[in-house]
């Protein structure tokens, strides 16, 4: 072994020195800032829908904003392939610098991007372009950070030390929520929604400066230095990862680990926030505070489960988290309704909303391009109820009959919008809306959640349980993925299943789930998506993936 190789080996074998701990902390802080940039958009999806997708109806605009959010997730695997290959060929450190610069600049530009009202359709097009750049950068970030930390950590402590990287995603979300809340409180809701929402994006330029400085302090991974000095660096890591026996392992890691981890992650943190604000109509500030408190209380468990995985194994903890989430999501989200907005539950029990319509005339209420006009009476009624956040069912009526809406004993006649002039259409819509609102109010359906009736301790407890599941599936996942793959193609091999799982299975969860809710009128219908994926991962992971806690990653 030559001198460089010996030095690298000594650093690894001797465990983490104080200097190494500082380097790992610096890496983690940089990752926090990158996640902060990425999650600002998700936290502000409702406002962004109004700013950049105001040319379509409100329900479609919100779903379209979620699609733009998901666009960043869609390209994450491509970023993983490109930057993972780069990291396996030239090193972990330099890849870090590139990804953080792309992320920081893209986020800053969202903060200065003119709205739809100012530049029309160019605004959402540019916004989606910036989201794609963010997704590419994030696709190269996580695998590098996890690999870098794991390759510094001593044997028997990789779960513990990589768990600090796992905290960064939640910490980034928590930081974004704090900045948003601070701006809301200082500016007031009206000013914040008009222009103050841009401030958290603009702050990212300062975080970019700090992050670049931090990344400049990093030294290269000792295992990569050793591999480079021995001439064992992969020349084609992407091909070596995908088109070999390693490709089957990557597929199993995707379906049996990261897909379920992803839907539990986004279900417990993002979907719960959207459910509170969009479905239960809880005030945005209150919902953000509750989520932030749950994150704060649950965050230490990332480290707890990372540490525990060094003792009992990664696989057991991740599989248990997926199973618990799948079995308890329905009662937990029904509990959120009961404790956050009990008036909805009470009104639904005493005066259920039912649309009586010809089933053949009811459309799938999801328009991803925002151009479809819903003019039949069933769709008009469904749109009105969905916009008001009212759960409903559809019961068949005679073929060709104009839809009606029953709210308990009250009956509201619908109307057909086809063929009406603009003025007649507006008059019909106003009259229908006024009558429907009166019936809903009389039945006890609230326009917003009553703050005095929110059982804060119970809502917080349920949110904490959801985030606890997140810590179970996410705390050990980095160590598990690192240990599954060899050093020479590790960055690429772990990044691809991680980012396909989190980018596609997890990133599209809000869009798919809200599409299911809008299509059916059932406020809990969207939970089937994360439940099915989590159960799939539980079965595949339990049967086909091995435990890795005792693997020697130097080989």
User: Among residues 175, 200, 270, 272, which one has the least CA distance to residue 502?
Assistant: 270
Tell me the domain boundaries of the chain.
Answer: 3-341+451-544, 346-442
Torsion of CA 529, 530, 534, 540, to 10 degrees: 40
φ, ψ of residue 552 to 5 degrees: the values are -90, 105
* CATH fold match for the domains 3-341+451-544 and 346-442: no
Q: What is the DSSP string of 407-442?
A: ETTEEEE----TT--HHHHHHHHHHHHHHHHHHHHH
Q: Work out the number of other CB atoms within 10 angstroms of the CB of residue 213.
A: 11
Torsion of CA 358, 360, 362, 366, to 10 degrees: 170
CA distance 237 to 102: 23
Question: How many C-alpha atoms does 373 have within 13 Å on its Cβ side?
Answer: 8
3-class SS at 354?
strand
Burial of 533 (0-12, 13-18, 19+ CB in 10 A): buried
Q: What token pair was written down for 433?
A: 């809306």
Query: Residues 528, 516: contact at Cβ < 8 Å?
Result: yes
Which CATH architecture is the domain 3-341+451-544 placed in? Up-down Bundle (1.20)
Torsion of CA 160, 162, 164, 169, to 10 degrees: -140
Query: Residue 60's pLDDT is what?
Result: 59
Beta pairing, strands 404-407 & 353-357: antiparallel
| Termini Cα distance of the chain | 15
Query: Residue 8's pLDDT is what?
Result: 40
356 membership: H or E segment, kind and range: strand 353-357
φ, ψ of residue 5 to 5 degrees: the values are -65, -40
CB neighbour list of residue 524: distance below 8 Å, 6 or more residues apart: 330, 333, 334
Q: What's the full length of the chain, in residues?
A: 555
For the chain (555 residues), the mean pLDDT of every run of 10, in chain order, is 39 51 66 73 77 65 67 81 77 74 86 86 84 83 77 83 82 84 88 90 85 73 63 67 82 96 92 89 88 91 95 97 98 96 91 90 57 74 82 89 92 88 86 92 91 96 97 95 86 86 84 78 92 98 94 76
Query: Residues 309, 510: contact at Cβ < 8 Å?
Result: no
Q: What token pair was written down for 391?
A: 């759960």
User: Among residues 165, 478, 482, 157, which one has the least CA distance to residue 310?
Assistant: 157
Spell 155-193 as b/e; 16+ CB within 10 A means b. Answer: eebbbbbbbbbbbbbbbbbbbbbbbbbebbeebeeeebb
Per the DSSP assignment, residues forming a β-bridge with 413 are 404
Query: Residues 181, 292: contact at Cβ < 8 Å?
Result: yes
Burial of 143 (0-12, 13-18, 19+ CB in 10 A): buried
CB neighbour list of residue 198: distance below 8 Å, 6 or more residues apart: 111, 112
Torsion region of 51: left, alpha or beta (phi above 0 gives left; psi -120 to 50 gives alpha):
alpha
Domain 346-442 has CATH 3.60.90: no
φ, ψ of residue 395 to 5 degrees: the values are -115, 140
Q: Work out the number of other CB atoms within 10 angstroms of the CB of residue 228.
A: 18
């Amino acid at each position: 072994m030559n001198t460089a190789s010996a030095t690298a080996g000594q650093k690894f074998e001797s465990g983490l020195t104080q200097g190494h701990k500082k380097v790992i902390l610096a890496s983690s802080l940089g990752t926090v800032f990158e996640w902060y940039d990425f999650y600002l958009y998700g936290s502000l999806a409702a406002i962004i829908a109004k700013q950049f997708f105001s040319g379509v109806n409100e329900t479609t605009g919100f779903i379209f904003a979620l699609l733009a959010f998901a666009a960043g997730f869609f390209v994450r695997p491509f970023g993983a392939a490109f930057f993972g290959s780069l990291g396996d060929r030239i090193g972990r450190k330099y890849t870090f610098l590139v990804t953080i610069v792309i992320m920081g600049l893209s986020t800053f530009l969202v903060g200065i991007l003119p709205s739809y009202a100012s530049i029309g359709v160019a605004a959402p097009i540019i916004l989606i372009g910036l989201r794609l750049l963010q997704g590419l950068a994030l696709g190269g970030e996580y695998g590098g950070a996890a690999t870098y930390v794991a390759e510094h950590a001593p044997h028997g402590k990789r779960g513990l030390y990589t768990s600090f990287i796992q905290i960064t995603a939640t910490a980034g979300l928590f930081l974004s929520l704090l900045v948003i809340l601070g701006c809301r409180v200082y500016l007031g809701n009206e000013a914040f929604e008009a222009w103050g929402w841009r401030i958290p994006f603009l702050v990212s330029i300062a975080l970019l400066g700090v992050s670049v400085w931090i990344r400049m302090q990093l030294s290269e991974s000792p295992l990569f230095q050793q591999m480079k000095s021995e001439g064992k660096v992969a020349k084609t890591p992407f091909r070596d990862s995908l088109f070999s026996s390693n490709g089957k392992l990557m597929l199993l890691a995707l379906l049996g680990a990261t897909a379920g981890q992803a839907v539990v992650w986004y279900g417990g943190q993002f979907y719960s926030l959207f459910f509170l604000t969009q479905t239960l109509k809880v005030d945005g500030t209150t919902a953000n505070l509750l989520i932030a408190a749950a994150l704060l209380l649950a965050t230490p468990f990332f480290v707890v489960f990372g540490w525990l995985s060094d003792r009992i194994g990664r696989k057991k903890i991740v599989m248990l988290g997926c199973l618990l989430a799948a079995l308890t999501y329905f009662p937990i989200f029904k509990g959120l309704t009961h404790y956050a907005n009990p008036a909805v539950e009470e009104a639904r029990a005493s005066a259920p909303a039912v649309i009586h319509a010809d089933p053949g005339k009811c459309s799938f209420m999801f328009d991803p391009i925002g151009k479809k006009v819903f003019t039949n009476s069933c769709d008009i009624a469904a749109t009105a109820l969905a916009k008001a956040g009212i759960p409903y069912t559809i019961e068949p009526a005679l073929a060709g009959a104009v839809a009606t809406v029953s709210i308990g004993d009250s009956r509201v006649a619908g109307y057909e919008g086809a063929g009406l002039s603009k003025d007649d259409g507006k008059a019909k819509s106003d009259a229908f809306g006024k009558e429907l609102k009166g019936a809903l109010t009389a039945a006890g359906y609230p326009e917003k959640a009553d703050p005095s009736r929110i059982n804060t301790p119970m809502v917080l407890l349920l949110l904490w349980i959801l985030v606890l599941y997140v810590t179970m599936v996410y705390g050990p996942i980095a160590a598990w993925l690192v240990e599954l793959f060899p050093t020479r193609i590790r960055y690429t091999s772990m990044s691809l299943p991680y980012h396909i799982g989190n980018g596609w299975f997890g990133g599209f969860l809000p869009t798919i789930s809200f599409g299911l809710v809008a299509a059916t009128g059932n406020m809990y219908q969207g939970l089937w998506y994360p439940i099915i994926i989590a159960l799939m991962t539980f079965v595949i992971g339990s049967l086909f993936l091995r435990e890795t806690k005792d693997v020697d990653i130097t080989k």
